[in-house]
C-alpha cells in the first residue's frame, strides 16, 4: 500500500537551479576586440588605427598583444566608441559569436 504522505514515495524532484554566468561586457576581457575588423563603411575611424592591405582593403590595426589598436588597455574599453566600425556596432553581446569568443578566451 502506498501512502501519499510517505516520504519514500514522494515523486517530486528537488531541482537546484545552478546560477548562469551572466554574459556582460563587464565580465569579459574585450574578447571580441581581438577579432579582425574589416572597415566596410566610413564611420570616422581615425587613420592611425587603420591598416590597409595589399589590395586596398582596410581593417582595424591590432597591436602585438592581439587586441585592436583602439582598445584602451587599462579599461579594456573602446576609445573610439562613437566612431567604431560598423562590424563592431553589429556585434551583439550574448549572441553566438560573442559566446564563442568568450568561451575561447575567458
> Does residue 102 interact with ligand SF4 by CB under 6 A?
yes
> Does residue 33 interact with ligand SF4 by CB under 6 A?
yes
Instruction: Identify which of residues 10 and 63 has a Cβ nearer to ligand SF4 in the complex.
Output: 63
Residues of 40-77 as b/e, b for ≥16 C-beta within 10 angstroms? eeeeebeeebeeeeeeeebbbbbeeeebbbbbeeeeee
Residue from 4, 37, 65, 90 in contact with ligand SF4 (CB under 6 A): 37
How far is the C-alpha of 30 from the C-alpha of 98, rounded, in Å? 10
> Does residue 59 interact with ligand SF4 by CB under 6 A?
no
Residue from 28, 50, 61, 86 in contact with ligand SF4 (CB under 6 A): 28
Amino acid at each position: 500500500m502506498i501512502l501519499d504522505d510517505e516520504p519514500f514515495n514522494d515523486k517530486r524532484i528537488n531541482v537546484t537551479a545552478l546560477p548562469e554566468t551572466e554574459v556582460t561586457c563587464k565580465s569579459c576581457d574585450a574578447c571580441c576586440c581581438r577579432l579582425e575588423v574589416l572597415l566596410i563603411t566610413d564611420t570616422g575611424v581615425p587613420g592611425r588605427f587603420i591598416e590597409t592591405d595589399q589590395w586596398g582593403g582596410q581593417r582595424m590595426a591590432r597591436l602585438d598583444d592581439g587586441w585592436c589598436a583602439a582598445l584602451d588597455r587599462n579599461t579594456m574599453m573602446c576609445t573610439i566608441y562613437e566612431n567604431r566600425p560598423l562590424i563592431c556596432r553589429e556585434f551583439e553581446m550574448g549572441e553566438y559569436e560573442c559566446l564563442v569568443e568568450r568561451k575561447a578566451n575567458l
